[in-house]
Amino acid sequence: MARAIASALAVVPLVEEGVRRWRPELAKRWIARHGRLLAWRRRRCRVLAQLVRSPGLVAMAGSMLQAMPAMSSALASSLTSLSPASTAPVVAGADGGSA
């Protein structure tokens, strides 16, 4: 569900631009933007999957989080947040295209 919401938020600026003036290049920009969005989430998922499969790493991470409660809050926030690419303001040409 989070991926769908992140994708929907990321496509809004391109849809608005396409409504004003459609160009095939907008589809290419979406493919690039969506790929970056998914790559970031997949990378994070892979790291977490490796962590939870290693009892030693889980124990070490647990000890660190107990010793630094503020880190726990930051970690939880980062795990539930959308990627920076999906929430950053769209700048003309920032994703390989031009407005």
Exposure of 2 in the CB half-sphere (CA atoms within 13 A): 10
Whether 93 is covered by a domain: the verdict is no
Please give the C-alpha separations between residue 7 and each of 55, 67, 75, in angstroms, as whole numbers.
34, 36, 22
Show the domain range for 8.
Answer: 2-87
In a domain, 97, yes or no: no
Q: Which phi and psi (to 5°) does residue 79 adopt?
A: -75, -25
18 part of a folded domain? yes
Amino acid 61: pLDDT:
87
Q: What is the pLDDT of residue 31?
A: 94
24-59: pLDDT as tens digits: 999 999 999 999 888 888 888 898 898 899 999 999
Overall average pLDDT of the 60-82 stretch: 82
pLDDT at 18 over 50: yes
pTM for the structure as a whole: 0.48
Q: Is residue 98 pLDDT above 70, yes or no?
A: no
Q: Does the pLDDT value for residue 93 go beyond 50? A: no
Q: Is residue 66 part of a domain?
A: yes
Give the count of domains, the chain. Answer: 1
Structural domain contains residue 99: no
Structural domain includes residue 92? no
The answer to whether residue 56 sits within a structural domain is: yes
Name the pLDDT band for 82 (thresholds 50, 70, 90): low
Instruction: Report in angstroms the alpha-carbon separations of 30 from 4, 18, 36, 91, 97.
Output: 14, 11, 10, 14, 10
| DSSP output for 52-96 | HT-HHHHHHHHHHHHH-HHHHHHHHHHHHSPPHHHHSPP-TTTTS
Is residue 28, in this structure, part of any structural domain at all? yes
